């Protein structure tokens, strides 16, 4: 299993990790499973367009606003709640050595409680 390091600089940040995942890929045919071992971060497949990423950051910052009991512990309930609406793992097919994504799809890491040093695990499954 490969481990990808992701450094975030903002409380909420969307980062394209497609290139790093592609470089880490070794399997020629099968699939890769990406997993974020964090409860305040997630993964998404979507377009890597700067306005859209900014819109996502704005959307994620507003999705779980409220007065939450968990905030009495470490003031990040919004991040935990928002991550439950996203994905902690995604699976992507690989064929003839190429990650199969749609024309506009990129692999996006979603930070919800940064800045932090994060990990993404990459597990390859051969066909």
For strands 117-126 and 41-46, give the pairing.
Answer: unpaired
Place 77 in a pLDDT band, splitting at 50, 70 and 90: very high
Question: Which pLDDT does position 26 carry in this prediction?
Answer: 87
Evaluate whether the domain defined by 2-64+75-126 bears CATH number 2.40.30.20.
no
The helix/strand/coil state of 109 is: strand
Measure the CA–CA gap between 82 and 16, rounded to whole angstroms.
19
Question: Tell me, what DSSP letter sits at residue 10?
Answer: S
Measure the CA–CA gap between 90 and 18, rounded to whole angstroms.
13
How confident is the model over 71-92, as a mean pLDDT?
96
Phi, psi (deg, nearest 5) at residue 32 = -120, 140
Could you tell me the pTM of the whole model? Answer: 0.95
pLDDT in tens, 11-55: 999 999 999 999 998 889 999 999 999 999 999 999 999 999 999
Question: Contact, 26 vs 126, CB < 8 A?
Answer: no
User: Within 10 Å of residue 54's Cβ, how many Cβ atoms?
Assistant: 11
Backbone CA torsion sign across 66, 68, 71, 76: negative
């Amino acid at each position: 299993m490969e481990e990808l390091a992701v450094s975030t600089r903002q409380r909420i940040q969307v980062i394209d990790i497609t290139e790093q995942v592609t470089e880490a890929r070794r399997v020629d045919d099968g699939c890769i499973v990406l997993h974020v071992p964090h409860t305040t971060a997630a993964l998404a497949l979507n377009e890597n367009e700067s306005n859209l990423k900014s819109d996502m950051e704005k959307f994620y910052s507003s999705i779980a606003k409220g007065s939450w009991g968990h905030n009495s512990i470490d003031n990040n309930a919004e991040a935990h709640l928002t991550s439950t609406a996203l994905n902690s793992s995604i699976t992507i097919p690989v064929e003839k050595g190429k990650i199969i994504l749609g024309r506009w799809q990129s692999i996006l890491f979603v930070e919800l409680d940064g800045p932090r040093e994060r990990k993404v695990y990459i597990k390859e499954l051969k066909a």
